[in-house]
Amino acid sequence: MSFALSVKEEVVKKSFAPCCQKAFLGGFTKYNMKLNISDHYFNFEVSSISNPVIRAIYTFFRHSFDAEIETIIVQSNKLKKHKTFILKIKKNSRYILEALHVYDFAHHQKIIEIPDDWEEHCHRAYIAGIFVACGSVNSPNTSNYHLEVQFSEEPSVLYFKKLLSKYRFLFKITKRHDKYVCYIKKSFLVSDFLKLIDAINSVLTFEDTRISRDMTNSINRLNNIEISNQQKSTKAGIEQVMMINYLVDHDLFDELNENTKKLAYQRLANPESSLQELSDLLYDKYNLELSKSGVNHLFREIKKIYYENLK
């Protein structure tokens, strides 16, 4: 099961107050339904590939309305042979769509906005219904954080963005083929959206996976830095050994002061040691206390004499 589907199934398992059941149904039906209209009948259908989701929708309709519901199961013949569960609402279908603020029959158009007098809990249930109908979220196992909701018409995507801005979500909009897509990519916004629709277990899964991966990435970055520093230290050590040997071969070694000579002896004996390790060796062997910057200063003296006498 995908992470997105597990989020949707968690959402529909929560307990909704009667008003929130209708709000959820309004969001889900508005962006999932298929209208069937002819001279002799009128009804609408909603569908899902998830059995738990369609069972919850069925229960909400039965609790909220005197609905006559026909259940249809369609088996896909594609590579992923999943089933699609369809609910056909036959009885009182027009009244139901009006009560859910889904369709304006006087003007024959979808109702985009929700009533102004709705409480926040109904807003959240409505948003949850929309996400279950046409939303998606990437698995936290991927490094690409992405949550999106797709709409067929521009007014819907603009209103959804406006509705979510009240909760400080900065959704972006793009057009993909014939769909309008409202999306967020920041991990904390994805997590906050899952909290908004009360998918708490999914939030915990998302955060746990994200933190584990971020920690692994941080450790890898530190290891890479350490390897890079070690490579730089080794390269510097080889160059310093070459300079010291040059001074010895050209009778220039005695131009070094006593502390620099002691450092040169230790570098020849320990060509791969870091500045801190050389500092510790000088203290242990000669009781000479030098900081890393002090050791580096002595190496600059060796470098200066080397280049002044380089032939």
In the beta sheet, which residues pair with residue 48? 85
Give yes or no for residue 215 having a pLDDT over 80.
no
Report which listed range, 135-144, 157-166, 224-233, 245-254, is most confident: 157-166
Q: Long-range contacts for 39-44 (Cβ within 8 Å, ≥24 apart)?
A: 42/93, 42/94, 43/88, 43/89, 43/90, 43/93, 44/88, 44/89, 44/93, 44/97
- In whole numbers, what is the pLDDT of the chain averaged over residues? 87
Domains of the chain: 3-198 (3.10.28.10), 227-309 (no CATH)
Q: What residue has token string 């230290």?
A: 233
| pLDDT tens-digit map of 43-97 | 899 999 999 999 999 999 998 887 888 889 888 776 566 889 999 998 888 899 9
| pLDDT tens-digit map of 171-197 | 999 999 899 999 999 888 999 999 999
Do 168 and 65 touch, CB atoms closer than 8 A? no
CA geometry: angle 186, 192, 198, nearest 5 deg: 145
Confidence of residue 128 (pLDDT cuts 50, 70, 90): very high
pLDDT at 7: 94
Determine the Cα–Cα distance for residues 290 and 305; give it in Å rounded to an integer.
Answer: 21
**How far from chain centre, in Å, is Cα 151?**
22
Q: pTM for the complete prediction?
A: 0.69
